Structure formats: structure tokens, C-alpha cells
Chains A and B, each alone.
Chain A
Amino acid sequence: DVKVTQSSRYLVKRTGEKVFLECVQDMDHENMFWYRQDPGLGLRLIYFSYDVKMKEKGDIPEGYSVSREKKERFSLILESASTNQTSMYLCASRSPTGAFFGQGTRLTVV
């Protein structure tokens, strides 16, 4: 069975903290993605990666960076968390027929 696992379901962080969101897939997919979901805005693409050590900016990369050191792992980094980064973060791994999502991380920045 296909599996995308995000390291945390819920996180509460303070403004200014560096935050790491981890995502692991077990399908040997090359393409992985980070989205955030906000009410009324749908899912917006933050960053994606086509291969190890390769990354491309999505539609809203400001305030974020990513790391892909191994094929199965794609990390999203908030360099200095801010309250406007409070959101649901979703990691996805892409196959030719679709994308498989993790369970999501609800991040609250206080």
C-alpha cells in the first residue's frame, strides 16, 4: 500500500523559531511536493523536487526552504516562523496517475 508519512500531526511553535517538517514516502517516486492549505485558498504549492538535491519554487516559496538529501525524504523548513505561516501543511508524492498525500501537519505559530 502506498504510504506518505509526515512526522507530526500537530505542532505549536513560537514566532522566530526554525521549524522542520519532515515527509517520507515509500513508493520510490522521484517527484515530491509541499503544499499548504488555507480556508478559501485551496492547496497552494510551496516547493517541489524532481530528484535528490533538486528543488524548484512553487507559487508561495517566500519564508520557506526545502531539503532533499535522499529520494524518500523531503523536508520543509521555516527559517523563522511567523504567525502568517499558521496553516495545514501537506506533503505529496507523485506517480504518473496522481499524487498521494500525507496526513497533513497542522502548524500553529504563536
Chain B
Amino acid sequence: DQQVKQNSPSLSVQEGRISILNCDYTNSMFDYFLWYKKYPAEGPTFLISISSIKDKNEDGRFTVFLNKSAKHLSLHIVPSQPGDSAVYFCAASYGGATNKLIFGTGTLLAVQP
């Protein structure tokens, strides 16, 4: 049972345009959400997070939006750069700030020059 879903395995975007990566979840108890970026043969690196008490969090070119009623979150990257090409994972947790993270299956973003 996949509690965190990323339904788009891949996404291709032109450099300078907006990239929108989507994530859906089924467990209403999730209270903290994170996005990670992963290059091949490396560990994931943290990008941005959001608590369930908020609906938006912004950090530079990255913005995460949370829609609790739809159980949906999205990551916006503006403007997209070729170096953003990587696999992006969303993750969720509940029941404590240091509890386990449950990950989605990932979306491969390709930013074309």
C-alpha cells in the first residue's frame, strides 16, 4: 500500500521555465512533508519542507504548496536550470519530528538547455 505517490515518473522542462512536481498521499495523519533531490550514485539531499499547519513554504527558487483537503503537495522550481536535472522524491512523516520518513517513488526531472 503506497501511502505517498508520485504519479509522474518523469518530467521534461525547458531551461528558464517553471517545473512543477506533484505528490499525493493517503494518510491524513502525516504532519510533515519534505522534498529531496537525488543525483545518480549519490545520497538524497534535502531541498525544502513544510509542516501541515502551513500551506506554503518558499526557499529561493523552490516553493512547496500543501493542500490538506486534497492530500496533495507540489514543488515548484522557478526558473528551472539544467543543474536541477535529477530525481525528486517527496516524503512524509507523522507522530513526531524525528519519526520515520515514507517516500514516494520519485520523479525524474530533465531540464533542457
CB distance B46 to A43 under 8 Å? no
Stretch binding the partner chain, chosen from A14-22, A62-70, A79-87, A93-101: A93-101
**A31-B98 in contact (CB<8A):** yes
Q: Which of B34, B102, B106 interacts with A45 by CB under 8 Å?
A: B102
B89 to chain A: which residues have CB within 8 Å? 42-43
Query: How big is chain B's contact interface, by range?
Result: 20 to 34
Tell me if B's interface is mostly helix, strand, loop or mixed: loop
User: What residue of chain B has the Cβ atom nearest to residue A45's Cβ?
Assistant: B100
Residues on A with beta carbons closer than 8 Å to the beta carbon of B102: 45
Question: Is B49 an interface residue, CB under 8 A from the partner?
Answer: yes
Are B100 and A33 interface neighbours, CB within 8 A?
yes
B44 & A90 in contact (Cβ 8 Å cutoff): yes
* Interface presence of B97 (CB below 8 A): yes
* A positions within 8 Å CB-CB of B: 4, 6, 9, 29-31, 33, 35, 37, 40-45, 48, 58, 88, 90, 92, 94-104, 106
